[in-house]
A and B are shown apart, each in its own frame.
Chain A
Amino acid sequence: MHSQTIILYDGSFDGFLCAVFLIYEQKVTHPIINKKNKSTPTQLFATTEEIHTEKQKAKRVWDGFKLKTTKTQQRMFFKAFLSEIKGVENTLFNYLRIVFMKEKTDTSIDYSNKDILKISQVAKMVQREKHRIEAFVRFRLTTDNIYTSIIEPDFNVLPLITSHFKDRYADQKWMIYDLKRSYGIYYDLKKIEIITIEGTVKSNIDIKSLSSNEKEFEALWRTYFSNVNIISRKNNKLHLRHLPKRYWKYLIEKN
C-alpha cells in the first residue's frame, strides 16, 4: 500500500496553488489536498503536511498554468475552486497535471477526460449561481444612504460578482454581504473593499435603519410583480425551476 500525504492549506486560492507547488517540488506521489479545519482528525496510514501560503509560489504555479491555457479555461478553473465542494481540490489538481503535461502551445480541451469534464461541469454550476445572485440581489436603501443586500449563495461567488456590480452601480454606495461566509463587499463610490461585520448579522435589516421611502418602493415592486402575472398561463413547476425556493428569503416580491 502506498502511503498517502495529506496537504493542508488555508482555504484560499493562493494557498491551494502553494499546495500544488509543494507537490511538484517534493515530488509527492499520492497527495490529497484538504482545507485546514480546526480539528482535522489524524489519519492512520497517512502523513500530514501543513503549508504556508506564499504569494510568490502561488504566482509561479498560476503563471505556468496560464502559459498553456486560454482565458476561458483559467476562469473555469477558478470558478470550480470557488465551488468549495468537498474534494474539488483533488480534481483540480488532476486537471493541472494534465495541463502541465501538454505541449506549450496546445490549449485544446479534451471533454472525454473525466476530470476535465467534471471541472467544466462544476464551473458551470458556479457560473449559474453567480448569474442567479447577480439577478436576485435586492438592494434596500438604508438611512446612511447605502444600498444594502444580504445573500446566502450556495457557492462563494462574491469574487465573481464584484466587477458586475461595480460597473453597474458606479454612482451609488452599496454593500453585498454573504451571511453564510461572513464577509461582504462594499463600494464607497471610489473603490471596492472587503468587509467583515463584528457580532451576529441578522438576515433581516431593521426597519428603523431603512430609508423613509424604502417600504413604499418595495410595495410598488410587489404591485408590479403581481400584475405582470398571467393567471391563465400559470405554471408553478416552471416558476419553481427558475426561482428555487431557497432564494425566496431575500426576494422582496416573494415576501
Chain B
Amino acid sequence: MSFERIREKLSILADAAKYDVSCASSGGKRNNPKKGLGNNTGMGICHSYTEDGRCVSLLKILLTNHCIYDCAYCITRKSNDIQRAAFKIQEVVDLTINFYRRNYIEGLFLSSGIFKNADFTMERLVEVAKKLRLEENFNGYIHLKSIPGASDELMREAGLYADRLSVNIEIPTKSGLKLLAPDKKHEDFIKPMQKVKEEIIQHRAEQKIIKSTPRYAPAGQSTQMIIGATGESDRDIMYSATFYYKKFNMRRVYYSGYIPVLEDSRLPAIDTEVPILRENRLYQTDWLLRFYGFSVEEILNDSHTHLDLDIDPKLSWALRNLHFFPIDINRADKRMLARVPGIGMQSVYKILEARKFRKLNWTHLKAIGIANNRAHYFITCDSKDFYSQELAPDEIKARILKNSNSKYKKYFNHQLRLF
C-alpha cells in the first residue's frame, strides 16, 4: 500500500471523526480462545491522551466524509467546501490490525458520511467488521455507527461482529432537529436503536437456553447529543437522555459541547466558546442518575430547569433539600450516604465496610477520602465536633465556594461579570 496516500486519507478522515466524543472500549468482553489477535477484558484502556485531555482508545475514523445530507451542525455536510476522501475496506482493516499489534489502540470505531443511501453505507461498515473478525481473527473492540435508516437485516448482522453500535441523536429536541437537519427524520434515528435493543434482548434470552448462541453487541448501544447548538434547557437534555436510557437500554449517553465549526445563521456564532463547564455538569448529573440512585425529576424540574454552573448538581440538590440533613455517618443507609455532597460511591463502600468495626470520626472519614469541605455541613459522626449551626442554603453555598478551588473558577468570574 502507498503510505503517502493512506496518510493523507487518515488525516482527513480522522479529523472529521473527532467530534464524536465516545471513545469507550469497555464492556465488550471478548476472549482470545483460538490464539488469534487481541482480547478484551471488559475494562477499557486509554492508550494515549490528546492535548485537549481526551482519551485515545480506538482508531476513530470515518470510512468516508462524502455525504448526501446537509445538517447544519456537521462539518462534513454536503454544502461545506472541504477535502473529501474515502478509505477502501481493506485499508481500514490493515490500519486497525497494524495499530493494534503495536499496542496503540484497543480497536476500531468506524463511522461514515452517508453516500448513495443508508443501506449502501451500512453494508460497507459491516463488511469491515466482518473481515476483522473472520479473516483476521481479531478479538479487539469494534464500535460501529448505525446509519439512520439502515435496514433491520443489516443492523442484525452488524451486531454479530461489533461490540457496540450507536446512533447519534445529536439534537436533543425534535424541533431542533427540524431546524438544523431538515432532511433527517426523527424516526430514522429511532428505528435502528429499536432494532438493536430487540436483538440484544432476544440474543440474551436465547443464550440462556442455547449456550452457543452468538453474542450480539455485548457492549450495548450508545448515543450522543450536541449541547448548546439550539436553545435547549438542561432539563430538555436530561429528560431526553433518561428517555433513551430507559427506552432503548442505552449503555451511555454522551454530551458534546457544540464546537462552532461553520458559519450558519441557525447556529451560535463561530467565536462562541465551547460550553465545557455545562457539559461537565451534565455528565455529573448523568452519573447521579446512573450510579447514585437519583431520579431526574429530583435534579431538574419545572422550578429548576437549568443546572447550577458554580456548584455540582448533588450539592445543588442537597441545598434545596436541607430537611434530609444532617445524617449520621454511622447509621445512615447506603442510599442516603450516596446523597451526601462530597462523598463518592468509593467512599460510600469504604464507610459501610469500616463502620462494622468501629464508629467513625472525622479522622477516619478524612483518611477514607471524602471531600470534607462540602460534606461536613451535611453529616454527623462519632465526634462532638460537628456542624450544629443552622445555616441558610445560600450561606452554606457561599462558604463552600469560598473554600474551594475549582478548576472552573475562571468561568464563574467570567460569568459573574456578565450579570
Q: How far is B52's CA from A113's CA once the two chains are assembled, in angstroms?
A: 40
Query: Residue A171 contacts which of B6, B103, B137 (CB distance < 8 angstroms)?
Result: B137
Tell me, rounded to whole Å, the shortest Cβ–Cβ distance linking B79 to chain A: 22
A239 within 8 A of B: yes
Asked if B158 is an interface residue, CB under 8 A from chain A, the answer is: no
Whether B103 pairs with A138 at a CB distance below 8 angstroms is yes
**Pairs across A and B, CB under 8 Å, 14 listed:** A108-B353, A108-B356, A112-B357, A112-B364, A139-B102, A141-B102, A169-B37, A213-B3, A220-B10, A223-B11, A227-B11, A229-B52, A239-B49, A242-B46
A134 to chain B: which residues have CB within 8 Å?
45
- B358 near A229 with CB under 8 A, answer no
Q: How far is the CA of A110 from the CA of B41 in the complex (A)?
A: 30
Kindly identify which residue among B6, B47, B350 contacts A136, using a CB–CB cutoff of 8 Å: B47
Which residues of B, 1-23, contact A by the 8 Å Cβ criterion? 3, 6-7, 10-11, 14-15, 17-19
Q: How many residues of A contact B (CB 8 A)?
A: 54
The 10 tightest CB contacts between A and B, nearest first, are A238-B53, A233-B52, A170-B35, A242-B49, A227-B14, A235-B53, A229-B50, A111-B354, A216-B3, A110-B357
In the assembly, what is the distance between CA of A126 and CA of B165, in Å?
34
Closest chain-A Cβ to B416's Cβ sits at a distance in Å of 22
Q: Is the CB of B51 within 8 A of A236?
A: yes
- Partner among A141, A229, A241, A251 whose Cβ is within 8 Å of the Cβ of B51: A229
Residues of B within 8 A of A221 (CB): 99, 102, 104
> B48 is contacted by which of A114, A225, A235, A241 (Cβ under 8 Å)?
A225
Work out how many contacts link A and B, with CB atoms closer than 8 A.
152
Partner pick for A227 among B10, B38, B39, CB 8 A cutoff: B10
**A217-B52 contact given A112-B364, A168-B32, A170-B37, CB 8 Å threshold:** no
**B residues within 8 A CB of A101?**
none
Contacting residues, chain B, for A236 (C-beta < 8 A)? 51
Interface residue? B55 (CB, 8 A): yes
Residue in chain A with minimal CB distance to B136: A171
Having A112-B354, A169-B37, A229-B18, one finds 18 other A-B pairs with CB under 8 Å, namely: A108-B353, A110-B353, A135-B45, A167-B31, A170-B32, A170-B37, A220-B98, A221-B102, A223-B10, A227-B11, A227-B14, A228-B15, A230-B18, A230-B50, A232-B259, A235-B51, A242-B53, A251-B48
Q: Which residues on A sit within 8 Å (CB–CB) of B3?
A: 213, 216, 219-220
| Given A138-B104, A170-B37, A230-B259; A112-B367 close (CB under 8 Å) | yes
Residue from A109, A112, A131, A233 having most chain B Cβ neighbours under 10 A = A112
